[in-house]
A = this chain, B = another copy of it.
Amino acid sequence: MDMLYLIDILGTIAFTISGALVAINKRMDAFGVFIIASVTAVGGGTLRDVLIGSTPVVWMQDMTYIYLIVISTIFAIIARSKIDFFRTSLFLFDTIGIGLYTLIGVEKGVTAGLHPIICIALGVMSACFGGVIRDILCNEIPVLFRKEIYAIPCLLGGVTYFVLELFPIPDNLVFLVSGGIVIVTRLLAVKFHIALPIIAPKS
């Protein structure tokens, strides 16, 4: 099992658990918790695959995702009172997850022969839109649009990828650096409470 796949697995677990926790707080039943957890984990990639026409979508072709989601959801339900214990690890997985999901989205766009700006958009979508669909299903205005600094690190990582691609740098290094940019900028943004300005109506 290679490094990327391992991180993908950790990312899926982290996204599943974070989705399950949101659903539990909304007092959903076991089925609702499972669906919200699934959507958080694979919603962004599913939207991406549908928009570029890469179907059947990825989780229909590799059962690993389903098994991970089922086990992680059950774990989240059982351990829900003690989950604060894991909060730091979860946040770390989640951050590593968006770094990797961004790269996977960008790569999918490159493979489909799309423009770099579209590829970056696909990267952001892969990493961030699972959470958007989760919030819509939970009847909330997506947190991504109000105060999260999820999207900007992904954007920066995507731009880094294409800047590095201009130079004769080995692919693995490009992945490492641009994924690293996502992770480091997100960690810094959270640590120093950096957020995008709210655009308030002026009168």
A residues adjacent to B (C-beta < 8 A): 23-33, 35-36, 46, 50-53, 55-57, 60-61, 63, 66, 77, 80-81, 112, 114-115, 117-118, 121, 132, 136-142, 144-147, 151-152, 195-203
Contact = CB atoms under 8 A, between A and B. Distances in A.
Given A51-B57, A56-B52, A29 B196 contact: yes
Given A199-B24, A200-B27, A53 B55 contact: yes
Most buried by B among A25, A121, A137: A137
15 contacts: A23-B145, A24-B201, A26-B141, A29-B145, A29-B197, A30-B197, A31-B196, A35-B144, A50-B51, A51-B56, A52-B57, A63-B117, A66-B117, A80-B202, A137-B142
| Complex copy number for this chain | 3
Contact of A198 (B29, B56, B138, B200): B29
